[in-house]
Structure 1
Amino acid sequence: MKASVVSLFSGLFVILQPDLTAAAVILNVTPNRQQFFTGEPVRLSCEEEEDGSSADGWTLKRKWLQKTETCGVQGFQNCRGGTYSVSALSHADRGDYWCEDPKGRETIKVTIAVSDRFIMDIPALPVMVGGNVTLRCRDRVGSPVLVEFFRFKEHQKPKGVAPDGQFKIINIQKSDEGSYWCSHGQVTSASSTLHVRDPPVFAQTVSGLSFFRLFLHLVVITPYCITTGLLISIYCCRKTGKAPVGAPEITMQKVEHVDAAVAPTMLN
Protein backbone atom coordinates (compact mmCIF):
# COMPACT_ATOMS: atom_id res chain seq x y z
CA MET A 1 0.00 0.00 0.00
CA LYS A 2 2.78 2.40 0.86
CA ALA A 3 4.39 1.66 -2.50
CA SER A 4 1.13 2.48 -4.29
CA VAL A 5 0.79 5.83 -2.55
CA VAL A 6 4.40 6.72 -3.27
CA SER A 7 3.94 5.71 -6.89
CA LEU A 8 0.93 7.97 -7.26
CA PHE A 9 2.72 10.95 -5.77
CA SER A 10 5.70 10.26 -8.01
CA GLY A 11 3.44 10.25 -11.04
CA LEU A 12 1.87 13.52 -9.96
CA PHE A 13 5.34 15.07 -9.57
CA VAL A 14 6.30 13.96 -13.09
CA ILE A 15 3.17 15.61 -14.48
CA LEU A 16 3.87 18.90 -12.75
CA GLN A 17 7.64 18.88 -13.21
CA PRO A 18 7.73 20.57 -16.67
CA ASP A 19 6.10 23.66 -15.16
CA LEU A 20 8.45 23.86 -12.16
CA THR A 21 11.36 26.21 -12.81
CA ALA A 22 14.06 27.51 -10.52
CA ALA A 23 13.66 31.04 -9.28
CA ALA A 24 15.15 33.54 -11.71
CA VAL A 25 18.21 35.53 -10.64
CA ILE A 26 18.84 39.06 -11.88
CA LEU A 27 21.56 41.67 -11.56
CA ASN A 28 19.81 44.52 -9.79
CA VAL A 29 21.25 48.01 -10.26
CA THR A 30 20.29 50.82 -7.87
CA PRO A 31 19.46 53.38 -9.16
CA ASN A 32 18.04 51.61 -12.21
CA ARG A 33 20.38 53.14 -14.80
CA GLN A 34 23.29 52.14 -16.99
CA GLN A 35 25.01 55.52 -17.29
CA PHE A 36 26.34 57.65 -14.43
CA PHE A 37 28.37 60.75 -13.77
CA THR A 38 31.67 60.43 -11.97
CA GLY A 39 31.19 60.75 -8.21
CA GLU A 40 27.67 59.26 -8.18
CA PRO A 41 26.83 56.24 -5.97
CA VAL A 42 25.62 52.89 -7.28
CA ARG A 43 24.84 49.43 -5.92
CA LEU A 44 24.91 46.23 -7.95
CA SER A 45 23.65 42.98 -6.43
CA CYS A 46 22.72 39.45 -7.47
CA GLU A 47 19.14 38.93 -6.30
CA GLU A 48 16.22 36.54 -6.58
CA GLU A 49 13.81 38.20 -8.97
CA GLU A 50 10.73 37.04 -7.06
CA ASP A 51 11.43 38.60 -3.66
CA GLY A 52 14.66 40.61 -4.03
CA SER A 53 16.57 38.45 -1.57
CA SER A 54 20.26 37.74 -2.02
CA ALA A 55 20.96 34.99 -4.56
CA ASP A 56 22.99 32.37 -2.69
CA GLY A 57 25.82 30.84 -4.67
CA TRP A 58 25.86 33.54 -7.34
CA THR A 59 28.94 35.73 -7.80
CA LEU A 60 29.21 39.16 -9.35
CA LYS A 61 31.71 39.54 -12.20
CA ARG A 62 32.80 42.36 -14.48
CA LYS A 63 34.80 42.75 -17.66
CA TRP A 64 36.53 45.79 -19.05
CA LEU A 65 38.45 45.51 -22.31
CA GLN A 66 39.87 41.96 -22.13
CA LYS A 67 40.15 41.69 -18.34
CA THR A 68 37.57 39.73 -16.32
CA GLU A 69 37.40 40.24 -12.56
CA THR A 70 35.56 38.25 -9.89
CA CYS A 71 33.96 39.98 -6.93
CA GLY A 72 36.30 40.08 -3.94
CA VAL A 73 39.11 38.23 -5.71
CA GLN A 74 40.95 40.31 -8.29
CA GLY A 75 41.09 43.92 -7.21
CA PHE A 76 37.31 44.17 -6.98
CA GLN A 77 37.22 46.55 -3.99
CA ASN A 78 34.10 47.10 -1.88
CA CYS A 79 32.69 43.89 -3.33
CA ARG A 80 31.44 40.93 -1.29
CA GLY A 81 30.04 37.82 -2.98
CA GLY A 82 27.19 39.09 -5.11
CA THR A 83 27.05 42.75 -4.01
CA TYR A 84 29.14 45.73 -5.12
CA SER A 85 28.55 49.13 -3.53
CA VAL A 86 30.32 52.29 -4.68
CA SER A 87 29.89 55.66 -2.99
CA ALA A 88 31.62 57.62 -5.76
CA LEU A 89 31.98 56.12 -9.23
CA SER A 90 35.15 56.64 -11.26
CA HIS A 91 36.15 55.68 -14.79
CA ALA A 92 37.75 52.55 -13.33
CA ASP A 93 34.25 51.23 -12.56
CA ARG A 94 33.23 51.08 -16.21
CA GLY A 95 32.56 47.70 -17.78
CA ASP A 96 30.17 44.81 -18.27
CA TYR A 97 28.70 43.39 -15.06
CA TRP A 98 26.82 40.13 -14.61
CA CYS A 99 26.03 37.42 -12.05
CA GLU A 100 27.25 33.85 -12.46
CA ASP A 101 26.67 30.63 -10.53
CA PRO A 102 29.04 27.65 -10.09
CA LYS A 103 27.44 25.89 -13.08
CA GLY A 104 28.34 28.77 -15.37
CA ARG A 105 24.82 30.14 -15.76
CA GLU A 106 24.76 33.92 -16.27
CA THR A 107 22.31 36.77 -15.94
CA ILE A 108 21.89 39.48 -18.56
CA LYS A 109 25.01 41.62 -18.77
CA VAL A 110 24.69 45.28 -17.83
CA THR A 111 27.21 47.77 -19.19
CA ILE A 112 27.97 50.53 -16.71
CA ALA A 113 29.18 53.73 -18.38
CA VAL A 114 30.76 56.63 -16.45
CA SER A 115 31.06 60.16 -17.85
CA ASP A 116 32.17 63.59 -16.68
CA ARG A 117 29.86 65.63 -18.91
CA PHE A 118 26.89 63.97 -20.60
CA ILE A 119 24.83 60.81 -20.01
CA MET A 120 21.62 59.11 -21.12
CA ASP A 121 19.23 57.72 -18.51
CA ILE A 122 18.29 54.23 -19.72
CA PRO A 123 17.05 51.34 -17.54
CA ALA A 124 19.49 48.66 -16.48
CA LEU A 125 16.69 46.16 -15.83
CA PRO A 126 14.67 44.74 -18.74
CA VAL A 127 11.43 46.50 -19.63
CA MET A 128 8.27 44.40 -19.98
CA VAL A 129 6.57 44.13 -23.37
CA GLY A 130 3.63 46.53 -23.43
CA GLY A 131 5.21 48.93 -20.93
CA ASN A 132 6.47 52.46 -21.42
CA VAL A 133 9.99 53.81 -21.07
CA THR A 134 11.51 57.28 -21.26
CA LEU A 135 15.12 57.83 -22.28
CA ARG A 136 16.56 61.09 -20.94
CA CYS A 137 19.76 62.81 -21.93
CA ARG A 138 21.26 65.43 -19.65
CA ASP A 139 24.43 67.15 -18.66
CA ARG A 140 25.82 67.28 -15.15
CA VAL A 141 23.77 70.38 -14.33
CA GLY A 142 20.60 68.58 -15.34
CA SER A 143 19.11 71.37 -17.45
CA PRO A 144 16.95 70.34 -20.48
CA VAL A 145 18.90 70.35 -23.73
CA LEU A 146 17.99 69.75 -27.37
CA VAL A 147 19.20 66.26 -28.24
CA GLU A 148 18.95 63.74 -31.03
CA PHE A 149 18.36 60.10 -30.20
CA PHE A 150 19.92 57.36 -32.29
CA ARG A 151 19.58 53.61 -32.47
CA PHE A 152 22.16 51.08 -33.59
CA LYS A 153 21.79 50.15 -37.30
CA GLU A 154 19.56 53.20 -37.73
CA HIS A 155 22.20 55.83 -37.01
CA GLN A 156 22.04 57.40 -40.47
CA LYS A 157 19.18 59.57 -39.21
CA PRO A 158 17.96 60.37 -35.70
CA LYS A 159 15.35 58.10 -34.12
CA GLY A 160 13.86 61.20 -32.62
CA VAL A 161 14.59 64.84 -31.80
CA ALA A 162 13.73 66.01 -28.30
CA PRO A 163 13.84 69.68 -27.27
CA ASP A 164 13.47 68.67 -23.61
CA GLY A 165 15.99 65.84 -23.81
CA GLN A 166 13.39 63.07 -23.45
CA PHE A 167 12.50 60.28 -25.86
CA LYS A 168 9.44 58.20 -24.98
CA ILE A 169 8.65 54.71 -26.23
CA ILE A 170 5.00 53.79 -25.67
CA ASN A 171 3.75 50.18 -25.64
CA ILE A 172 7.25 48.83 -26.03
CA GLN A 173 7.78 45.67 -28.09
CA LYS A 174 10.64 43.23 -28.63
CA SER A 175 11.41 45.06 -31.86
CA ASP A 176 12.35 48.13 -29.76
CA GLU A 177 15.19 46.23 -28.10
CA GLY A 178 18.65 47.43 -29.07
CA SER A 179 21.42 49.95 -28.44
CA TYR A 180 20.58 53.65 -28.08
CA TRP A 181 22.58 56.83 -27.61
CA CYS A 182 22.01 60.55 -27.91
CA SER A 183 23.98 63.62 -28.95
CA HIS A 184 23.90 67.33 -28.18
CA GLY A 185 25.98 69.26 -30.67
CA GLN A 186 29.46 67.73 -30.53
CA VAL A 187 28.77 65.91 -27.27
CA THR A 188 27.63 62.28 -27.46
CA SER A 189 26.53 59.92 -24.74
CA ALA A 190 27.72 56.34 -24.41
CA SER A 191 25.73 53.64 -26.20
CA SER A 192 23.60 51.40 -23.97
CA THR A 193 21.33 48.45 -24.67
CA LEU A 194 17.63 48.62 -23.90
CA HIS A 195 16.53 45.11 -22.87
CA VAL A 196 12.93 44.04 -23.47
CA ARG A 197 11.38 40.88 -22.02
CA ASP A 198 8.09 39.05 -22.30
CA PRO A 199 5.71 39.09 -19.31
CA PRO A 200 6.07 36.22 -16.80
CA VAL A 201 4.21 33.01 -17.63
CA PHE A 202 1.87 33.58 -14.67
CA ALA A 203 0.78 36.92 -16.13
CA GLN A 204 -0.15 35.22 -19.39
CA THR A 205 -2.80 32.99 -17.81
CA VAL A 206 -5.46 35.41 -19.02
CA SER A 207 -5.04 34.06 -22.53
CA GLY A 208 -7.33 31.34 -23.86
CA LEU A 209 -4.41 29.01 -24.49
CA SER A 210 -3.32 29.22 -20.85
CA PHE A 211 -6.83 28.47 -19.63
CA PHE A 212 -6.90 25.47 -21.96
CA ARG A 213 -3.58 24.21 -20.57
CA LEU A 214 -4.86 24.72 -17.02
CA PHE A 215 -7.96 22.69 -17.87
CA LEU A 216 -5.83 19.87 -19.26
CA HIS A 217 -3.72 19.84 -16.09
CA LEU A 218 -6.84 19.61 -13.95
CA VAL A 219 -8.20 16.73 -16.05
CA VAL A 220 -4.95 14.82 -15.58
CA ILE A 221 -4.34 15.67 -11.94
CA THR A 222 -7.88 15.17 -10.54
CA PRO A 223 -7.93 11.34 -10.93
CA TYR A 224 -4.56 11.15 -9.17
CA CYS A 225 -5.88 13.19 -6.24
CA ILE A 226 -9.07 11.12 -5.93
CA THR A 227 -7.27 7.78 -6.18
CA THR A 228 -4.60 8.88 -3.73
CA GLY A 229 -7.25 9.92 -1.21
CA LEU A 230 -9.05 6.59 -1.47
CA LEU A 231 -5.84 4.58 -1.08
CA ILE A 232 -4.78 6.58 1.96
CA SER A 233 -8.26 6.11 3.49
CA ILE A 234 -8.14 2.32 2.93
CA TYR A 235 -4.61 2.11 4.31
CA CYS A 236 -5.49 4.03 7.46
CA CYS A 237 -8.66 1.99 8.02
CA ARG A 238 -6.78 -1.29 7.76
CA LYS A 239 -4.35 -0.13 10.44
CA THR A 240 -7.16 0.91 12.81
CA GLY A 241 -9.43 -2.05 11.99
CA LYS A 242 -12.29 0.17 10.86
CA ALA A 243 -14.02 -0.23 7.54
CA PRO A 244 -13.40 2.55 5.08
CA VAL A 245 -16.19 5.00 4.32
CA GLY A 246 -18.65 3.46 1.87
CA ALA A 247 -17.58 -0.17 2.54
CA PRO A 248 -20.43 -2.69 3.26
CA GLU A 249 -20.92 -3.59 6.92
CA ILE A 250 -21.38 -7.16 8.28
CA THR A 251 -24.39 -7.04 10.60
CA MET A 252 -24.83 -9.01 13.80
CA GLN A 253 -27.93 -10.64 12.30
CA LYS A 254 -25.82 -12.43 9.69
CA VAL A 255 -23.37 -13.61 12.33
CA GLU A 256 -26.16 -15.02 14.49
CA HIS A 257 -27.62 -16.80 11.48
CA VAL A 258 -24.33 -18.50 10.80
CA ASP A 259 -23.94 -19.55 14.46
CA ALA A 260 -27.45 -21.06 14.45
CA ALA A 261 -26.71 -23.13 11.38
CA VAL A 262 -23.47 -24.47 12.80
CA ALA A 263 -24.86 -25.32 16.28
CA PRO A 264 -26.79 -28.58 15.32
CA THR A 265 -23.76 -29.93 13.58
CA MET A 266 -21.65 -29.41 16.66
CA LEU A 267 -24.25 -31.21 18.86
CA ASN A 268 -24.27 -34.25 16.59
Structure 2
Amino acid sequence: MKFMMEMMVPSEPQRSRKQGRVQGVCVLLLSALAASADKVLILEIPPHPVPTGSDVTLRCRLRNGDIIAAFFFFGGSRVGSGPKSELIITNIQQTDEGLYSCSTDMFGSSPQRFLKVKVSQDGSEVEVYEGVESVLLPCQVSIPQGEDMKVMWKHREFKILVHMHGSDVDDLRNQSQRYANRTSMRADALQTGDLSLTLRNPTVSDSGTYTCILQRDGREESQGEVHLKVKASSVSLRRLFCHLVVFCPYCISTGLLLSICYNKKTPNRPAASMEVTQQHEEAQALAEECDDVTADVTTEHAF
Protein backbone atom coordinates (compact mmCIF):
# COMPACT_ATOMS: atom_id res chain seq x y z
CA MET A 1 0.00 0.00 0.00
CA LYS A 2 2.79 2.36 0.82
CA PHE A 3 4.42 1.45 -2.45
CA MET A 4 1.23 2.33 -4.31
CA MET A 5 1.01 5.74 -2.63
CA GLU A 6 4.58 6.51 -3.57
CA MET A 7 3.83 5.63 -7.19
CA MET A 8 0.84 8.01 -7.25
CA VAL A 9 2.66 11.00 -5.79
CA PRO A 10 4.70 12.71 -8.56
CA SER A 11 8.29 13.34 -8.00
CA GLU A 12 9.82 16.81 -7.81
CA PRO A 13 11.21 16.80 -11.42
CA GLN A 14 7.82 15.78 -12.76
CA ARG A 15 6.08 18.62 -10.92
CA SER A 16 8.59 21.10 -12.30
CA ARG A 17 8.06 19.95 -15.88
CA LYS A 18 4.28 20.14 -15.52
CA GLN A 19 4.44 23.63 -14.07
CA GLY A 20 6.70 24.65 -16.94
CA ARG A 21 4.21 23.39 -19.49
CA VAL A 22 1.35 25.21 -17.77
CA GLN A 23 3.32 28.43 -17.68
CA GLY A 24 4.17 28.05 -21.37
CA VAL A 25 0.52 27.61 -22.26
CA CYS A 26 -0.40 30.69 -20.22
CA VAL A 27 2.25 32.74 -21.97
CA LEU A 28 0.96 31.65 -25.37
CA LEU A 29 -2.61 32.51 -24.41
CA LEU A 30 -1.59 35.92 -23.15
CA SER A 31 0.41 36.56 -26.31
CA ALA A 32 -2.54 35.60 -28.45
CA LEU A 33 -4.83 37.86 -26.44
CA ALA A 34 -2.37 40.72 -26.73
CA ALA A 35 -2.02 40.16 -30.47
CA SER A 36 -5.77 40.10 -30.91
CA ALA A 37 -6.06 43.26 -28.82
CA ASP A 38 -3.50 44.98 -31.06
CA LYS A 39 -5.43 43.94 -34.19
CA VAL A 40 -8.93 45.01 -33.25
CA LEU A 41 -9.01 47.22 -36.37
CA ILE A 42 -9.06 45.71 -39.85
CA LEU A 43 -8.46 47.74 -43.00
CA GLU A 44 -10.86 46.75 -45.77
CA ILE A 45 -8.93 46.88 -49.04
CA PRO A 46 -9.39 45.22 -52.47
CA PRO A 47 -7.62 41.84 -52.43
CA HIS A 48 -6.86 41.91 -56.16
CA PRO A 49 -4.92 44.44 -58.28
CA VAL A 50 -6.99 47.51 -59.12
CA PRO A 51 -6.91 48.81 -62.73
CA THR A 52 -5.75 52.37 -63.27
CA GLY A 53 -8.49 54.94 -63.74
CA SER A 54 -10.96 53.24 -61.39
CA ASP A 55 -12.22 54.42 -57.99
CA VAL A 56 -11.30 52.57 -54.78
CA THR A 57 -12.92 52.85 -51.34
CA LEU A 58 -11.02 51.85 -48.17
CA ARG A 59 -12.87 51.31 -44.87
CA CYS A 60 -11.76 50.68 -41.31
CA ARG A 61 -13.73 48.00 -39.46
CA LEU A 62 -13.78 46.47 -36.01
CA ARG A 63 -13.51 42.71 -35.66
CA ASN A 64 -17.27 42.47 -35.26
CA GLY A 65 -17.71 44.06 -38.70
CA ASP A 66 -18.74 47.55 -37.61
CA ILE A 67 -17.33 50.43 -39.65
CA ILE A 68 -15.56 53.00 -37.50
CA ALA A 69 -14.26 56.52 -38.22
CA ALA A 70 -10.47 56.42 -38.28
CA PHE A 71 -7.35 58.11 -39.60
CA PHE A 72 -5.99 56.62 -42.82
CA PHE A 73 -2.30 56.30 -43.62
CA PHE A 74 -0.46 55.76 -46.90
CA GLY A 75 3.23 54.87 -46.73
CA GLY A 76 3.31 55.93 -43.08
CA SER A 77 1.90 59.42 -43.77
CA ARG A 78 -1.60 60.41 -42.74
CA VAL A 79 -4.10 61.07 -45.54
CA GLY A 80 -6.52 63.91 -44.88
CA SER A 81 -7.06 66.09 -41.84
CA GLY A 82 -9.49 64.20 -39.60
CA PRO A 83 -11.03 60.79 -38.93
CA LYS A 84 -13.56 59.51 -41.44
CA SER A 85 -15.48 56.32 -42.06
CA GLU A 86 -13.96 55.68 -45.50
CA LEU A 87 -11.17 56.81 -47.80
CA ILE A 88 -12.13 57.19 -51.47
CA ILE A 89 -9.33 57.25 -54.06
CA THR A 90 -10.64 58.49 -57.41
CA ASN A 91 -8.99 57.84 -60.78
CA ILE A 92 -6.37 55.68 -59.14
CA GLN A 93 -2.89 55.57 -60.72
CA GLN A 94 0.18 53.46 -60.08
CA THR A 95 1.58 56.23 -57.87
CA ASP A 96 -1.23 55.28 -55.41
CA GLU A 97 0.19 51.77 -55.04
CA GLY A 98 1.64 50.95 -51.61
CA LEU A 99 0.95 50.15 -47.95
CA TYR A 100 -2.21 51.51 -46.28
CA SER A 101 -3.44 51.35 -42.69
CA CYS A 102 -6.01 52.95 -40.39
CA SER A 103 -5.81 54.04 -36.76
CA THR A 104 -7.96 55.35 -33.89
CA ASP A 105 -7.11 56.72 -30.47
CA MET A 106 -9.15 54.01 -28.74
CA PHE A 107 -8.28 50.88 -30.71
CA GLY A 108 -4.80 51.66 -32.02
CA SER A 109 -3.63 50.84 -35.53
CA SER A 110 -4.63 48.16 -38.00
CA PRO A 111 -2.07 45.95 -39.75
CA GLN A 112 -0.69 47.49 -42.94
CA ARG A 113 -2.14 46.13 -46.15
CA PHE A 114 -0.73 46.51 -49.66
CA LEU A 115 -2.85 48.02 -52.43
CA LYS A 116 -1.76 46.73 -55.83
CA VAL A 117 -2.46 48.85 -58.92
CA LYS A 118 -2.15 47.57 -62.47
CA VAL A 119 -2.28 49.41 -65.78
CA SER A 120 -5.68 48.89 -67.36
CA GLN A 121 -5.58 46.42 -70.23
CA ASP A 122 -8.10 48.52 -72.14
CA GLY A 123 -5.81 51.54 -71.92
CA SER A 124 -6.90 55.13 -72.26
CA GLU A 125 -8.08 56.78 -75.47
CA VAL A 126 -7.05 60.18 -76.74
CA GLU A 127 -8.85 61.86 -79.61
CA VAL A 128 -7.73 65.06 -81.38
CA TYR A 129 -8.15 66.80 -84.71
CA GLU A 130 -5.36 67.08 -87.22
CA GLY A 131 -3.73 70.49 -87.10
CA VAL A 132 -3.45 70.85 -83.30
CA GLU A 133 -0.05 71.90 -82.01
CA SER A 134 0.52 68.79 -79.84
CA VAL A 135 -1.17 65.90 -78.02
CA LEU A 136 -0.29 64.29 -74.67
CA LEU A 137 -0.27 60.49 -74.34
CA PRO A 138 -0.67 59.81 -70.59
CA CYS A 139 1.29 57.17 -68.67
CA GLN A 140 1.59 57.14 -64.85
CA VAL A 141 3.57 54.40 -63.05
CA SER A 142 5.07 53.63 -59.66
CA ILE A 143 8.85 53.80 -59.96
CA PRO A 144 10.57 50.81 -58.26
CA GLN A 145 13.95 50.95 -56.58
CA GLY A 146 16.86 50.02 -58.81
CA GLU A 147 19.45 51.11 -61.31
CA ASP A 148 19.50 51.25 -65.11
CA MET A 149 15.94 52.49 -65.46
CA LYS A 150 14.53 53.49 -68.83
CA VAL A 151 11.19 53.98 -70.53
CA MET A 152 10.26 53.25 -74.14
CA TRP A 153 7.29 54.33 -76.21
CA LYS A 154 6.43 52.10 -79.18
CA HIS A 155 3.76 52.07 -81.86
CA ARG A 156 2.17 48.64 -81.55
CA GLU A 157 0.88 48.32 -85.10
CA PHE A 158 3.95 49.76 -86.83
CA LYS A 159 6.32 47.97 -84.40
CA ILE A 160 8.65 50.98 -84.34
CA LEU A 161 10.35 52.95 -81.56
CA VAL A 162 8.65 56.27 -80.96
CA HIS A 163 10.75 57.57 -78.03
CA MET A 164 13.25 56.34 -75.43
CA HIS A 165 14.22 58.03 -72.16
CA GLY A 166 16.83 56.92 -69.65
CA SER A 167 19.23 58.33 -67.05
CA ASP A 168 17.42 61.69 -67.12
CA VAL A 169 18.15 62.18 -70.85
CA ASP A 170 16.53 61.10 -74.10
CA ASP A 171 18.14 58.34 -76.16
CA LEU A 172 16.86 58.80 -79.70
CA ARG A 173 19.51 56.90 -81.63
CA ASN A 174 17.06 54.18 -82.66
CA GLN A 175 14.02 56.44 -82.98
CA SER A 176 11.97 56.08 -86.15
CA GLN A 177 12.42 58.98 -88.56
CA ARG A 178 8.64 59.18 -88.67
CA TYR A 179 8.73 60.80 -85.22
CA ALA A 180 11.99 62.74 -85.49
CA ASN A 181 11.84 66.14 -83.73
CA ARG A 182 8.19 65.53 -82.76
CA THR A 183 8.39 63.81 -79.36
CA SER A 184 9.43 64.83 -75.85
CA MET A 185 9.15 63.69 -72.21
CA ARG A 186 9.67 65.27 -68.81
CA ALA A 187 13.31 65.38 -67.70
CA ASP A 188 12.34 64.00 -64.26
CA ALA A 189 10.05 61.28 -65.63
CA LEU A 190 11.90 58.44 -63.87
CA GLN A 191 11.74 60.31 -60.54
CA THR A 192 8.08 61.35 -60.61
CA GLY A 193 6.60 58.35 -62.43
CA ASP A 194 5.00 60.64 -65.04
CA LEU A 195 6.08 58.93 -68.25
CA SER A 196 3.61 60.81 -70.46
CA LEU A 197 4.72 61.48 -74.05
CA THR A 198 4.11 64.73 -75.95
CA LEU A 199 3.63 64.25 -79.70
CA ARG A 200 3.79 67.45 -81.75
CA ASN A 201 1.89 68.12 -84.99
CA PRO A 202 -0.11 64.86 -84.98
CA THR A 203 -1.49 63.64 -88.29
CA VAL A 204 -4.13 61.10 -89.26
CA SER A 205 -1.38 58.58 -90.04
CA ASP A 206 -0.20 58.80 -86.40
CA SER A 207 -3.39 57.12 -85.20
CA GLY A 208 -2.99 53.75 -83.47
CA THR A 209 -2.02 52.11 -80.18
CA TYR A 210 1.03 53.39 -78.35
CA THR A 211 2.73 51.28 -75.67
CA CYS A 212 4.54 52.76 -72.65
CA ILE A 213 7.12 50.31 -71.26
CA LEU A 214 9.16 50.78 -68.07
CA GLN A 215 12.30 48.65 -67.82
CA ARG A 216 14.70 48.04 -64.92
CA ASP A 217 17.99 46.24 -65.49
CA GLY A 218 16.67 45.06 -68.86
CA ARG A 219 13.49 43.53 -67.37
CA GLU A 220 10.01 44.88 -68.01
CA GLU A 221 8.45 46.30 -64.84
CA SER A 222 5.18 47.73 -66.13
CA GLN A 223 3.39 48.47 -69.36
CA GLY A 224 0.51 50.69 -70.41
CA GLU A 225 -1.33 51.42 -73.64
CA VAL A 226 -2.85 54.57 -75.10
CA HIS A 227 -5.13 54.57 -78.13
CA LEU A 228 -4.60 57.71 -80.22
CA LYS A 229 -7.18 58.74 -82.80
CA VAL A 230 -6.37 61.73 -85.00
CA LYS A 231 -9.35 62.97 -87.03
CA ALA A 232 -9.14 64.87 -90.30
CA SER A 233 -9.29 68.63 -89.85
CA SER A 234 -12.74 70.21 -90.33
CA VAL A 235 -13.79 73.87 -90.32
CA SER A 236 -15.82 74.55 -87.23
CA LEU A 237 -18.61 77.12 -87.00
CA ARG A 238 -16.49 79.25 -84.72
CA ARG A 239 -13.61 79.28 -87.19
CA LEU A 240 -16.03 80.08 -90.02
CA PHE A 241 -17.46 82.99 -88.04
CA CYS A 242 -13.95 84.32 -87.42
CA HIS A 243 -13.20 84.17 -91.14
CA LEU A 244 -16.41 86.05 -91.94
CA VAL A 245 -15.60 88.74 -89.39
CA VAL A 246 -12.18 89.25 -90.95
CA PHE A 247 -13.14 89.15 -94.64
CA CYS A 248 -16.61 90.79 -94.62
CA PRO A 249 -15.27 94.38 -94.39
CA TYR A 250 -13.07 93.76 -97.43
CA CYS A 251 -15.99 92.34 -99.38
CA ILE A 252 -18.24 95.27 -98.49
CA SER A 253 -15.57 97.83 -99.44
CA THR A 254 -14.97 96.11 -102.78
CA GLY A 255 -18.71 96.09 -103.52
CA LEU A 256 -19.04 99.80 -102.79
CA LEU A 257 -16.07 100.69 -105.02
CA LEU A 258 -17.49 98.68 -107.92
CA SER A 259 -20.90 100.33 -107.48
CA ILE A 260 -19.37 103.83 -107.53
CA CYS A 261 -17.35 103.08 -110.65
CA TYR A 262 -20.42 101.69 -112.44
CA ASN A 263 -22.54 104.75 -111.60
CA LYS A 264 -19.86 107.06 -112.94
CA LYS A 265 -19.75 105.29 -116.33
CA THR A 266 -23.57 105.06 -116.73
CA PRO A 267 -25.45 108.39 -117.74
CA ASN A 268 -28.15 109.58 -115.41
CA ARG A 269 -31.18 109.51 -117.73
CA PRO A 270 -33.82 110.73 -115.30
CA ALA A 271 -31.77 113.85 -114.58
CA ALA A 272 -31.41 114.65 -118.35
CA SER A 273 -35.16 114.25 -118.85
CA MET A 274 -35.85 116.73 -116.09
CA GLU A 275 -33.49 119.28 -117.73
CA VAL A 276 -35.26 118.97 -121.11
CA THR A 277 -38.65 119.45 -119.47
CA GLN A 278 -37.44 122.51 -117.61
CA GLN A 279 -35.96 124.03 -120.80
CA HIS A 280 -39.24 123.43 -122.64
CA GLU A 281 -41.22 125.22 -119.94
CA GLU A 282 -38.84 128.18 -120.05
CA ALA A 283 -39.20 128.41 -123.84
CA GLN A 284 -43.00 128.47 -123.57
CA ALA A 285 -42.84 131.23 -120.98
CA LEU A 286 -40.50 133.29 -123.22
CA ALA A 287 -42.86 132.81 -126.20
CA GLU A 288 -45.82 134.05 -124.18
CA GLU A 289 -43.91 137.17 -123.16
CA CYS A 290 -43.06 137.87 -126.82
CA ASP A 291 -46.76 137.61 -127.76
CA ASP A 292 -47.67 140.16 -125.08
CA VAL A 293 -45.05 142.60 -126.31
CA THR A 294 -46.28 142.28 -129.92
CA ALA A 295 -49.86 142.92 -128.86
CA ASP A 296 -48.83 146.13 -127.03
CA VAL A 297 -46.93 147.46 -130.04
CA THR A 298 -49.85 146.82 -132.39
CA THR A 299 -52.24 148.72 -130.12
CA GLU A 300 -50.06 151.82 -129.97
CA HIS A 301 -49.77 151.94 -133.78
CA ALA A 302 -53.56 151.93 -134.12
CA PHE A 303 -53.90 155.12 -132.08
**TM-score normalised by L of structure 2:** 0.28
With a CA cutoff of 8 Å and minimum separation of 6, indicate the structure with the bigger relative contact order: 1
Q: Which structure is larger by alpha-carbon Rg, 1 or 2?
A: 2
